[in-house]
Structure formats: C-alpha cells, structure tokens
Amino acid sequence: MTWNYRIIKTPEGFSVYEVFYDDEGNPVSTTVDPTLDFFCDTVEELLEEIEIIKSAFDKPAIDINTIGGKEIK
C-alpha cells in the first residue's frame, strides 16, 4: 500500500490528509484527522515535510465521499 498527502474536501471544508492507495492506485482510505498538526525534530526536517505536503497542491482535491469508505486511525 502506498500513500501521499492530498487535499481532501469534507463537509467542514478542505484540508491536507494522508491518503492510502490500493495496488491499482485507487484511494482507499485516509487518516482520521488532517495532517497539518505535526512536529519534527529539526527545522530542516520540518521544511522537508512541508515541501512534501506542498506537492498535494499539484493534484486535484479528492471528495472524502469517493474514498473507499474507510479511515485509518
């Protein structure tokens, strides 16, 4: 199973979540909570993580209702 950060549309609005994909690349689940509440050990690691998260803006938003119906806790 692979994952990446994606912008997700929920009833509350848009946020960045971790999205998990099946072997065919279909989104099948997300984290329960948005990703933007995290800590890193160094400023450099924080910048790296933010750069990875920024890549979510290069893809279209996903509606939460179209994702496999599962959430990762």
Q: Residue 22: CB partners within 8 Å, gap ≥ 6?
A: 1, 28, 68
Report the C-alpha gap between 44 and 50 in whole angstroms: 10
Residue 7 near residue 62, CB atoms below 8 Å: yes
Of the two residues 19 and 38, the one the predictor is more confident about is 19
Q: pTM value?
A: 0.74
Tens digit of each residue's pLDDT (9 = 90 or more) over 38-52:
778 898 998 998 999
Structural domain tally of the chain? 1
Query: What span, in angstroms and rounded, lies between the C-alpha atoms of 22 and 69?
Result: 13
End-to-end CA, the chain: 16
Domain that holds residue 6: 2-72
